[in-house]
Chains A and B, each alone.
Chain A
Amino acid sequence: MIAFIVRRIWQAMLVMLVMSMLVFMGVFVIGNPVDVLISPDATQEIRQRVIEQYGLDLPVWQQYLQFMNSLLHGDLGRSFVYNMPVSELIASRLPATMELAVIAILLASVVGIPLGVYAGYKPDSWLSKAIMALSILGFSVPTFWIGLMLIMVFAVQFGIMPAGGRGDTITLFGVPWSFLTPNGLHHLALPALNLSLFKMSMMIRLSASGTREVMLTDTIKFARAAGIDEHTILRRHVLRLISIPLVTVFGLELGSTIAFAVVTETIYSWPGLGKLIIDSITSLDRPVMVAYLMLVSLLFITINLVVDLAYAVLDPRMRQGGGK
């Protein structure tokens, strides 16, 4: 068990190192940040000074080493565009994305899992068929399109919801939050719903297919034969048996929600990380792009690690020294 954990953590660190190289190289090959930073009519002298200041004249591998060195000292560089430390910039945008993502995923689980278990438990009822049909719809329709529809219906037609922005915020622990004020919640509702619909469909489909398969197993037959009532069977056996894929998905989805937030934040002008990365791509703000991608990689690698370790705890087969 300990050997498994150590090996997984070692692997995760290796992967992170590889990702940092890939991201750095990938970002390095596009565009020339000098053209963005310096106005075309700047003198040769100023040009030279700026290039040296940012270390843009060094070979790529040296820039990479410099980047890694400062990264390990907690310094992500300065944004070319905002002219402030990237770590501060990201820290100021992260809470907005986090509150959006967490609310979206809670909504998806709380609504999606019960609907899915029901649809898998009674696959032939009309309600189950309606739930499954809706989930295909939620799965198929692109997130950005649902976002547009929500804006059109609730903001343009009925005018009862704001079309964008964060609304009023309250500062707690030095960070502004929207979900603590009525006006902020009002602004949060549409983007959170938009972001959650895809996950909700996923939760519905996973728990429905899991439940359907579990209901056909001998475990359930014997539990019924033993006279355990259906409610207890669902709660104690079905939910536990479908929990492994659900935990995986829940973990992974937390990360992918932050990825999908790029779309939702763009549509609703939500000032989070997603909007920041889109803006930094269009303005070739290299330090911000690298930092965002590194952050997302770190997030995913950590989530994978945690999910793998959670497996080891949940699944007795893995506990006995196994693993991939």
Chain B
Amino acid sequence: MTATSVTPRSSNGFWAEFLRHPVPVAAAIAVVAIILLAVFAPLIAPQDPYDLASLVLRDARRAPGYIGQGGYIHILGTDSQGRDLFSAILYGLRISLQMGLLAGAIAFTIGALVGSAAAYVGGRFEALVMRLVDLQLSFPAILLAFVVAALLGQGKSQLIVALVFSQYAYFVRTAHGAAAAERNKDYVEAALSVPMSGWFVVTRHILPNALPPLIVVATVQVASAISLEATLSFLGVGLPPTEPSLGMLISTGFQYLLSGRYWISIYPGVALIILILAINIVGDQVRDQLNPRLKK
């Protein structure tokens, strides 16, 4: 949707409104809980899934509830190497979140700067940038990410490049829309006539006012980056097997799915979906609250 300027309201009113909707609140709690689980994974996980010494092959592909050689219960079962799946999922969440947040942050920064600069400078530069962005947005993100990832090969930084490349255009367009609306307002004219430098006006005045719609885009884009990463890793063009994200866990479990050992694929997938879903629900609510066209 096009970003329209958002009337600044007190942040108290925003939170009061948000807290009145139980589903988004639950989703927000879930997001925070998952982030905490991922951050403290080494403390919570019963087993270090990547410490080869602690893996016992006799424990491989055991169903949930099996008590392994380590003496503790594998509540979600074990994978083909005898890894505790619950631990593997916690560590996988770390990698997935890291990829999504990093890619989102870089795309956000590039998009906010380029978009507001285009709105501020105007003229040929603006036309060129926005034409490029429009062109890129006409290609689906998954296709761009897939092509770039395929061209660059497997790896963490390659994947980040692919994700950023496929997503920055959304931020540019949103920042441009919001900044263009701010550009013609009196306070910007006033700031420029003082005179303040253009860079200062863009970063200190225009960008902060363009922030709310950008934040909405950011939540959606982080969720979609996580989903893209999982998809690419599943297809074998994302992360290498040494970086077992959730997508990679699902991919390795796929071959066992057909023989009825569902848990190796299913539980990492459930974790992935809860994460993406929770982020999207929060983003949806924030967007509805910031959309001036839905106000009667």
**A→B interface (CB under 8 Å):** 15, 26-27, 29-30, 136-137, 139-145, 148-149, 151-152, 155-156, 163, 209, 212-213, 216, 252, 255-256, 259-260, 262-263, 266, 278, 281-282, 289, 293, 296, 300, 303-304, 324
Contact = CB atoms under 8 A, between A and B. Distances in A.
B59 to A, nearest CB: 23
A252 B143 CA distance: 13
Interface of B: 1, 131, 134-135, 138-140, 142-143, 146-147, 150-153, 223, 227, 230-231, 234-237, 250, 254, 257-258, 260, 262, 265-266, 269, 272-273, 276-277, 280-281, 284, 293-294, 296
Contacts, number: 98
Contact of A252 (B138, B266, B272, B276): B138
Given A30-B153, A148-B254, A156-B258, A142 B272 contact: yes
A282 B250 contact: no
Contacts of B142: 256, 259-260, 263
Given A156-B257, A255-B140, A256-B143, A136 B277 contact: yes
11 contacts: A26-B147, A26-B151, A30-B153, A139-B280, A145-B230, A163-B258, A216-B296, A263-B234, A278-B236, A289-B150, A300-B139
Contact of A15 (B1, B135, B234, B258): B135
B281 A136 contact: yes
B281 A143 contact: no
A141 B277 contact: yes
B138 A262 contact: no
Contacts of A156: 257-258, 260, 262
Nearest to B229: A142
Given A163-B258, A212-B294, A148 B139 contact: no
A209 B235 CA distance: 33
A250 to B, nearest CB: 14
A213 B143 CA distance: 31
